[in-house]
Chains A and B, each alone.
Chain A
Amino acid sequence: MDGLKIKKVSKHINGLKLIDNVTASFLPGRITALIGPNGAGKTTLFHLITGELFADTGDITYKESNITALPPYKVARNGVGRLFQDVRVFENLSVFDNVASACYDYQSETPWFPFLKANKMRALNKKISEKVAFYLDFVGLSDMKESPAHSLSYGQQKLLAIARLLAGGYSLLLLDEPTSGLNPVMIKKVLGLLERIVNEKKNKTIILVEHDMGVVTEVADWVYFMNEGRIAFFGRTDHVLGDKEVREIYLGL
Chain B
Amino acid sequence: MNYILHLLIMIGIYLILSYGLNLVVGFGGLLSLCQAVFYGIGAYASTLLMMKTGISFVPAIFISMVITGLFALIVGVPALRFRGDSFVLVTLGLQMIVFTILYNWVDFTRGPYGIPGIPRPVIAGYKFSALHDYLLLVAVFLVIIIGILFIIYKSPFGLAVKALRDDEMAAEGLGKSPVHLFLYAFVISGMVASLSGGLYATYVTYIDPTSFTLDESIFILAILLVGGTGNRIGPFIGTVFMILLPEALRFLGLPDTVAPNVRQMIYGLTLIVLMFFRPQGIAGEYKVQ
Contact = CB atoms under 8 A, between A and B. Distances in A.
Interface of A: 50, 52, 71-74, 76-77, 81-82, 84, 88-93, 97, 100-102, 104-106, 108-111, 113-115, 121, 124, 164, 168
B167 A89 contact: yes
Q: Is the interface of B mostly helix, strand, loop or mixed?
A: helix
Given A92-B166, A92-B286, A72 B160 contact: no
Nearest to B161: A109
A115 B188 CA distance: 14
A108 B166 contact: no
Smallest CB-CB A-B distances: 9 pairs: A90-B166, A76-B175, A88-B170, A72-B172, A104-B156, A109-B160, A114-B155, A73-B177, A77-B175
B285 A90 contact: no
Interface string B127-141: 000000000000000
Nearest to B160: A109
B173 interface: yes
B159 interface: yes
26 contacts: A71-B177, A72-B173, A73-B176, A73-B178, A74-B175, A77-B175, A89-B167, A90-B162, A92-B287, A93-B166, A97-B162, A101-B171, A101-B174, A101-B176, A102-B174, A105-B175, A109-B156, A109-B160, A109-B176, A111-B152, A111-B155, A111-B188, A113-B156, A115-B148, A121-B155, A121-B156
A59 to B, nearest CB: 21
Given A73-B178, A101-B171, A91 B155 contact: no
Contacts of A93: 159, 162-163, 166
Interface in B207-258: 230
B265 interface: no
Contacts of B230: 92
Interface string B194-207: 00000000000000
Contacts, number: 99
Contacts of A111: 152, 155, 157, 184, 188
Contacts of B177: 71, 73-74, 106
A168 B286 contact: no
Contacts of A50: 173
Given A90-B166, A101-B160, A106 B176 contact: yes
Nearest to B177: A73
B151 interface: yes
A89 B165 CA distance: 11
B181 interface: yes
B156 A81 contact: no
B169 interface: yes
